[in-house]
């Protein structure tokens, strides 16, 4: 059965190596996919003959006059498929550097078909293994770190976070065009987006192919691109920290105004208690609104989320009191350190609970294809 006939294969390319690129495309076209869409991401005049030959093989070649980055190239390809090939079931993205075998692309298509037939339009990742001796150390280390960080922050383990072999149902591809990112950050943004909207992601094993120990064909810049990708992964948690700090400042400022300007010099112990309570209510409302809109971007109704938020706040408060008391005893009376350790742990637990429960998003329904727009072709 030809699973590829229902899918377009999008291949972004910059400065392709002829001996890897053209045989890969020739084999891919021979397998009769719905379409092979190649994006020349500003490779320049020197590479025009290679892309012309790709076109003669039967590929659709789209050209960026100048290099815009892998993310932009992927979005150009996805947009073309969604707008011009709406009869297809989905899109499979693959790299042009020879790291993805055609039979692995077929494997992704087969899994997409199986899931669609079962009524589950999931995204399929072609996942490599990184424990082989010929895997470049930087690739092994980078994937291990990103897998661990994503698991810690988002509660989802993805064994190959950097794979470029991905199968997207057409409705998901239509939405993925609008994800931010122009370079290698786009694929990480796409993965985080899929996790945060709780869309089903399925992994299928593929071969791990590297042409040399340094993976020299890749245009990935190990330090600069890796730092940017880790910032993207941590961005939500960093914003959560910022919102928490802003809420604490509002709490202190509101308490100061109430104590000094509302109740004044004649304040009593009751006034202090009221000021603490009112300041905490105000800061918690601000914290809820900012977490819902700025940190987690929760589009659901506010009232159910607020109920969950304040129930969590009560649990955290009780856990803080009990945990600090227990740690104080265990540490031999170091009350301050017990409080700090307990609250740091609970802060992280609060982030996880808000992300996965308070502001958890429901998986979206499949979306229709976008209206057609013009696209420059070679």
Assess contact for 246 and 290: CB atoms under 8 A: yes
Quick one: 209 and 316 in the same domain?
no
pLDDT band at 308 (very low <50, low <70, confident <90, very high): very high
Q: Answer for the pair 8, 66: CB distance below 8 angstroms, yes or no.
A: no
Residue 377 belongs to a domain: no
Residue numbers of the domain that contains 311: 236-358
The pLDDT of residue 210: 62
Q: Identify whether residues 196 and 309 lie together within a single domain.
A: no
Query: Would you state the pLDDT for residue 117?
Result: 86
Mean pLDDT within 155-173: 92
- The share of the chain scoring above pLDDT 70, in percent, equals 87
Do 268 and 245 lie in one domain? The reply is yes
Query: For residue 367, is it within any domain?
Result: no
User: For residues 336 and 314, what is the distance between their CA atoms, to the nearest angstrom?
Assistant: 22
Digit-coded pLDDT (tens) for 40-80: 999 999 999 999 999 999 999 999 999 999 999 999 999 99
The tens digit of pLDDT for each residue in 226-273 reads: 676 677 778 889 999 999 999 999 999 999 999 999 998 888 899 999
| pLDDT at res. 153 | 84
Q: For residue 248, tell me if it sits in a domain.
A: yes
Q: Which residue has the higher pLDDT, 367 or 2?
A: 2
Q: What is the pLDDT of residue 230?
A: 72
Mapping DSSP onto H, E and C, the string for 258-280 reads HHHHHHCCCCCHHHHHHHHHHHH
Q: Which two tokens stand for residue 121?
A: 């339009």
Whether 257 and 218 map to the same domain: the answer is: no
- Is the domain of 190 the same as that of 222? yes
**Residue scoring higher pLDDT (279 or 233):** 279
Query: In terms of domains, do 251 and 151 share one?
Result: no
Report the pLDDT value the prediction gives residue 369, as an integer from 0 to 100: 36
The C-alpha atoms of residue 312 and residue 320 are separated, in whole angstroms, by 12
337, 341, 342, 345 alpha-carbon torsion, rounded to 10°: 170
Same domain (yes/no): 189, 55: yes
Sheet holding 166-169, edge to edge: 60-64, 35-41, 7-13, 90-93, 166-169, 123-127, 201-205
Residues 279, 228 share a domain: no
* Domain count across the chain: 2
Asked if residue 259 and residue 224 are part of one domain, the reply reads no
Q: How confident is the model at residue 198 (pLDDT cuts 50, 70, 90)?
A: confident
Q: Identify the pLDDT of residue 208.
A: 79
Domain boundary among 175, 206, 233: 233
The reported pLDDT for the residue numbered 226 is 63
Asked whether the beta carbons of 216 and 244 are under 8 A apart, the reply is: no
Decide if pLDDT at 374 tops 50: no
Whether 202 maps to a domain, the answer reads: yes
| 155 within a domain of the structure (yes/no) | yes
Domain containing residue 47: CATH number: 3.90.550.10
Residue 369 lies in a domain: no
Least confident segment among 38-52, 201-215, 326-340:
201-215
Instruction: Tell me, yes or no, whether 245 and 187 share the same domain.
Output: no
Lowest mean pLDDT among 146-160, 173-187, 274-288, 340-354: 146-160
Residues 123 and 172 placed together within one structural domain of the fold: yes
Residue with the bigger pLDDT between 215 and 118: it is 118
Predicted pLDDT of residue 98? 77
Does residue 225 register a pLDDT over 80? Answer: no
- Residue 27 within any structural domain of the chain: yes
Q: How far is CA 170 from CA 123, 177, 366, in A?
A: 10, 11, 8
Q: At which residue do the structure tokens 């057609």 appear? A: 372
Q: Of 180, 208, 233, which residue constitutes the final position of a domain? A: 233
Same-domain status, 31 and 86:
yes
Q: Is residue 364 part of a domain?
A: no
Which of 192, 215, 233 represents a domain boundary (last residue)? 233
Answer for the pair 66, 42: CB distance below 8 angstroms, yes or no. Answer: yes
Kindly report which listed range (194-198, 218-222, 262-266, 294-298) carries the lowest average pLDDT score. 218-222
Quick check: 235 and 149 in contact, CB under 8 A? no
């Amino acid at each position: 059965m030809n699973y590829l006939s229902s899918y377009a294969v999008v291949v972004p390319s910059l400065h392709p190596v002829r001996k890897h690129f053209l045989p890969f495309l020739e084999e891919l076209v021979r397998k009769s996919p719905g379409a092979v869409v190649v994006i020349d991401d500003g490779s320049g005049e020197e590479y025009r003959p290679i892309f012309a030959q790709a076109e003669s093989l039967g590929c659709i070649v789209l050209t960026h006059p100048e290099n815009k980055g892998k993310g932009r190239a992927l979005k150009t390809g996805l947009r073309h498929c969604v707008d011009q090939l709406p009869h297809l079931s989905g899109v499979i993205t693959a790299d042009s550097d020879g790291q993805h075998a055609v039979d692995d692309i077929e494997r992704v298509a087969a899994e997409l078909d199986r899931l669609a037939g079962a009524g589950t339009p999931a995204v399929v990742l072609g996942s490599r293994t990184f424990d082989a001796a010929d895997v470049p150390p930087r690739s092994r280390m980078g994937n291990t770190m990103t897998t661990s960080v994503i698991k810690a922050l988002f509660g989802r383990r993805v064994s190959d976070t950097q794979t470029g072999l991905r199968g997207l149902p057409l409705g998901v591809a239509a939405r993925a065009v609008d994800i931010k990112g122009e370079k290698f950050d786009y694929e990480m943004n796409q993965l985080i987006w899929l996790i945060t909207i709780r869309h089903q992601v399925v992994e299928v094993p593929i071969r791990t192919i590297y042409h040399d120990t340094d993976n020299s064909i890749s245009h990935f810049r190990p330090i600069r691109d890796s730092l940017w990708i880790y910032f993207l992964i941590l961005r939500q948690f960093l914003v959560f920290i910022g919102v928490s700090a802003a809420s604490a400042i509002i709490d202190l400022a509101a308490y100061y105004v109430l104590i000094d300007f509302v109740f004044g010099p004649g304040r009593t112990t009751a006034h202090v208690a009221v000021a603490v309570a009112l300041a905490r209510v105000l800061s918690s409302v601000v914290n809820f609104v900012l977490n819902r809109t700025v940190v987690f971007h929760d589009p659901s109704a506010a009232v159910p989320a607020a109920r969950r938020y304040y129930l969590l706040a009560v649990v955290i408060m009780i856990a803080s009191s009990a945990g600090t008391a227990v740690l104080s005893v265990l540490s031999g009376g170091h009350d301050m350190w017990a409080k700090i350790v307990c609250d740091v742990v609970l802060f992280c637990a609060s982030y996880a609970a808000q992300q996965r429960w308070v502001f958890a998003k429901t998986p979206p329904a499949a979306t229709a294809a976008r209206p057609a727009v013009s696209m420059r072709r070679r």
